[in-house]
Amino acid sequence: MINPASATAAGAVSPAMSVDNLRQSNPSPPVLGTSQLPVPRWVSIKASKVNVRQGPSRDHALLWTYVRAGVPVEVIAEFDNWRRIRDRSGETGWVLQQMVSSKRTVIVQGHDNVPITSAPGAPKDVVAFAAPGLIAQLQSCKAQWCEIEARGYDGFVPRGRLWGVYPAE
């Protein structure tokens, strides 16, 4: 991400209620955004240059720019054709809906490489190792294991080592 110095503009008023506020007032069922898709949900950055703004319009201050496609982010609110996203570091901002994709990706977390195994819980069948920070495509998750694909390798890693999946999905 690039964080321009111009990000010091006055705070913006969010026209959409945040997911955290909605959860506190009504913990169930899932909230549908203006897109009629669930909020929150995981998406990925679609383009190699995506501006993140303080509010849901081009008139709001630029906070930072993603310079890599495929980064997973969480949609936490919607307003018209804008999506409020949260990234791995907890930072939030607004992006145009066209700048995110429903293609699911994850980031490998932790300090050590994680083995990618050919089957869930098969420590002897390592096909590759994923370094912390690796962005991979998410195929599916069952119980405590998720199937990912990265750089031509397909296999399973523990769910707890991935950022970009919910505990119960």
Q: Do 92 and 138 have their domain in common?
A: no
Integer Cα distance of 77 and 34 in angstroms = 9
The pLDDT confidence band at residue 6, using thresholds 50, 70 and 90, is very low
Report the domain count for the chain: 2
Q: Do 149 and 124 have their domain in common?
A: yes
Q: Do 53 and 123 have their domain in common?
A: no
**Last residue of some domain: 103, 125, 146?**
103
Q: Do 35 and 81 have their domain in common?
A: yes
Tens digits of residue pLDDT in 71-81: 999 999 999 99
Q: Do 38 and 61 have their domain in common?
A: yes
pLDDT at residue number 18: 44
- Which among 11-20, 31-40, 67-76 has the top mean pLDDT? 67-76
In a domain, 124, yes or no: yes
**Of 13-27, 33-47, 88-102, 134-148, the least confident:** 13-27
Integer Cα distance of 92 and 119 in angstroms = 35
Q: Quote the pTM value.
A: 0.81
Q: Do 79 and 113 have their domain in common?
A: no
In a domain, 168, yes or no: no
Which residue's entry shows tokens 């997973």? Answer: 72
Residue 126's domain spans which residues? 106-163
**Last residue of some domain: 103, 122, 155?**
103
In a domain, 169, yes or no: no
Closest residue by Cα to residue 78 from 12, 15, 29, 20: 15
Per the model's pLDDT, the better-predicted residue between 6 and 29 turns out to be 29
Residue 21 above 70 pLDDT? Answer: no
Q: How much of the chain, in percent, has pLDDT values that exceed 70? A: 83
pLDDT at residue number 28: 58
Q: Do 36 and 60 have their domain in common?
A: yes
